[in-house]
Chain A
Amino acid sequence: MALSLRPRGRGAAQPNIPTASMGDIAFLIIIFFMTTSIFSREKGLKIVLPEKGAETKIKSENILTVAVNQTGQVLIGERVVNIPEVSTLVREEIEKNPSLAVALRVSRKAPYQVMIEVFDQLKIAKAERISLMPVQEEEGGGQ
C-alpha cells in the first residue's frame, strides 16, 4: 500500500523554491551586523590586585621601587630616568635577582598616562611581580 502524497499521473511538477535572492537577503543582514557591530575594544593591561589583609612580606632587598612623582618624573631608586629606559633597567635588575618584586609608587597628582607608560614598561621587562602601592601623600598639603 503506497501512501504517496504526490499526485501521480499527470507529470508531477518539480517543486521549486526560488533561492536566487537568498544571497541578497543574507548580505543585507551582514551589512546590518557590520554597521552595528563594535569589535571588542576591550583591551588593556592586566593586573591582579592583592587581597586586603593578605599582603605578603617581601625582604627589602628584593624590592625595586619605581616611583612617579607629581610632575610625572620617573625614579628608579633615587635616580631620575626616562620612561623608555625603564624596561631595560628593570630587566637588568630582574636578571640579577629573579625573585625581585617591583613596587610602583605613583603620586596622586601624577597623570594617569605616565603611570600606564611605566606599567607598560614593567610589562615589557616581563616583571611578574608588580605591586601598585597606594600613596596617601599630599592630600592635606603634604605629610
Chain B
Amino acid sequence: MTRIGLKKAATPNIPTASTADIAFLLIIFFMVSTHFRTEKGLKINLPRAEMTERILKRRNVAAIWIDATGRMTVQDNWVNPSTITALMSEKVIENPEIVVLLQADKDVKYGFVTDVLEALKDARALKVTFATSYGKGGG
C-alpha cells in the first residue's frame, strides 16, 4: 500500500509578513473616513426622506440644531435666528463655500425652520441642506 505524501509532512506555513500592511491600509482608511465629533448637538429625531444625498465635503459644513420644542444650538451654544445671522455671516466670510446643515427634529413646527432660513438668507449662507435619514415614507 502506497501512501501519498509520506515523505515528510512539510510544516504548514501561512505567510504573515503582509498582514501588517493590510492592517495599516485599513488604519489609513479609518483615519481618513473618521472625524471626531466636536459638537454634541441636541437630541433629535431626523425626518426621513427618499432622496437623501450625502454631503461630500465635510470640512465645509456648519450645523444648526433645532429640537422638537424649537430650541436652537450652533456649536453647543444656544442661539436664536438673529444670532444665527451674525454667526453665519462670519462663517460665510471665512469660507464662502460653506454648507449649512439644518439638523431639525421631525416634530418641530415649520415656523422655526423658516425663521432660520430667513436668517440664513440675511447672512448670505445660501447653501442649505436639510438633514434627513434615508428611508421611505414618514416615520
For the complex formed, measure the closest distance between the CB of A126 and the CB atoms of chain B, giving whole angstroms: 10
For the complex formed, measure the closest distance between the CB of A123 and the CB atoms of chain B, giving whole angstroms: 4
Contact of A110 among B55, B110, B128 (CB under 8 A): B110
Residues of B contacting A: mostly: mixed
Chain B residues, CB < 8 A from A120:
49-51, 132
Q: How large is the interface on B (under 10, 10 to 19, 20 to 34, 35 or more residues)?
A: 35 or more
Q: Which A residues from 86 to 143 make CB contacts under 8 A with B?
A: 106-117, 119-120, 123-124, 132, 134-135
* Complex contact B130–A119 (CB within 8 A): yes
Q: A39 vs B99: C-alpha distance in the bound complex, in angstroms?
A: 18
For A, the interface residue count at a CB cutoff of 8 angstroms equals 49
Query: Residue B20 at the A interface, CB < 8 A?
Result: yes
Closest chain B residue to A108, Cβ basis: B111
Chain A residues, CB < 8 A from B61:
42
Q: Which A residues from 12 to 54 make CB contacts under 8 A with B?
A: 19-20, 22-23, 25-27, 29-30, 33-34, 36-40, 42-52
Query: Residue B107 at the A interface, CB < 8 A?
Result: yes
Known: A45-B52, A112-B104. A33 touches B128 (CB 8 A): no
* Complex contact B134–A43 (CB within 8 A): yes
Q: Give the total number of A-B pairs whose CB atoms are below 8 A apart.
A: 167
Q: A120 vs B34: C-alpha distance in the bound complex, in angstroms?
A: 29
Interface residues of B (CB under 8 A from A): 16-17, 19-20, 22-24, 26-27, 30-31, 33-37, 47-55, 58, 61, 99, 101-102, 104-111, 113-114, 117-118, 120-122, 124, 126-134, 137-139
Interface residues of A (CB under 8 A from B): 19-20, 22-23, 25-27, 29-30, 33-34, 36-40, 42-52, 68, 83-84, 106-117, 119-120, 123-124, 132, 134-135
**24 A–B contacts from the bound complex (CB under 8 Å):** A30-B26, A30-B30, A33-B30, A40-B55, A42-B61, A42-B129, A43-B52, A43-B55, A44-B52, A44-B102, A46-B129, A47-B129, A48-B127, A111-B107, A111-B110, A112-B108, A113-B47, A113-B106, A113-B139, A116-B49, A116-B106, A117-B48, A117-B137, A135-B114
